[in-house]
Amino acid sequence: MPFKKLAVTAAVLLICVAAERTAHHFYGPHGELTRPKTDSSRSKGKLDAPLWITEYMDYQCQTCAQVYPLLESYLKERPGQIYLQVKFYPLAGHPHGETAAVYAECAARQRAFWPYHETVLARQAEWVFAEDASPFFRQYADEAAMDLTELDRCAADPATRAAVQAEASAARALGVRGTPSFFIDGKLAVGEKEFKETMKAYFDNKGAR
């Protein structure tokens, strides 16, 4: 085998790796998600629980709705051991995802996030194909005994939508591209299967210690 060809091959490989590393530095994920230091109205569990989970979700995502009861069961089965925080990452292809998140943010400001969150996910089939899903979100807010005048003011405020979009941008910078994406003790797990695998590994490992 000609030495020159091998040398050129090695040089091309080195250039490829260097180009990828350089591009990764500029366009790859930046920063890391750290354990929340302050409690939020979109969280469950004790802030100092041994395991913290941040879920990036989209209300129109089917898997997000499927995974919610699973999250609840983990929280119930392991009281005091998990701190869960929900963040928004509405997907571009889901027309109602962002509006649902805007209403959820408004619900959080009225300390009614969890009943609203649970209802929107549990009754996803009702609104997912609607042309305008807002009346459904208002109805769920009403059922959660929220102040509807305040809700309408909050949902119409461009600052609320901007806050949701800023949260999604921050997620994108961390490398989130789909939902549900979980940061489990800071480690990324995407989708239901990986979530289950990571949780199993965490608790198996903890049991072995």
Partner 1 sequence: MKKFADPFFLARAALGALFVFSGFQKLMQPSENLLAVIHTYALLPNAAAVPFSKILPWAEYIAGVFLILGLWTRLSLAILWLSNTAFIAALSQALLRKLPLGACGCFGDAVTLSPKKMLVVDMLLWGVFFLLWKWGSRAKQPSLDAAFDPK
Amino acid found at 10:
A
- N-terminal to C-terminal alpha carbon distance within the chain: 53
Residues that bind partner 1 (CB under 8 A): 2, 4-5, 8-9, 12-13, 16, 20, 23-24, 27-29, 62, 93, 175, 177-178, 181, 188-191, 193-194, 197
Minimum distance from residue 30 beta carbon to partner 1 (Å) = 11
Is the CB of 11 or the CB of 156 nearer to partner 1? Answer: 11
Minimum distance from residue 121 beta carbon to partner 1 (Å) = 17
Cβ count near 205 (within 10 Å): 9
Is the CB of 44 or the CB of 172 nearer to partner 1? Answer: 172
Minimum distance from residue 193 beta carbon to partner 1 (Å) = 5
Q: Is 23 exposed, middle or buried (0-12, 13-18, 19+ CB in 10 A)?
A: exposed
Is the CB of 27 or the CB of 209 nearer to partner 1? Answer: 27
Is the CB of 23 or the CB of 122 nearer to partner 1? Answer: 23
Say if residues 194 and 43 touch (Cβ distance below 8 Å): no
Task: Report the C-alpha gap between 77 and 57 in whole angstroms.
Answer: 22
Minimum distance from residue 67 beta carbon to partner 1 (Å) = 12
Task: Report the C-alpha gap between 94 and 107 in whole angstroms.
Answer: 21
Is the CB of 147 or the CB of 167 nearer to partner 1? Answer: 167
Tracing tokens 């999250």 back to the chain, one arrives at 71
Minimum distance from residue 57 beta carbon to partner 1 (Å) = 14
Q: Where are the extended beta strands (E) located within the chain?
A: 43-44, 51-57, 82-88, 181-184, 187-190
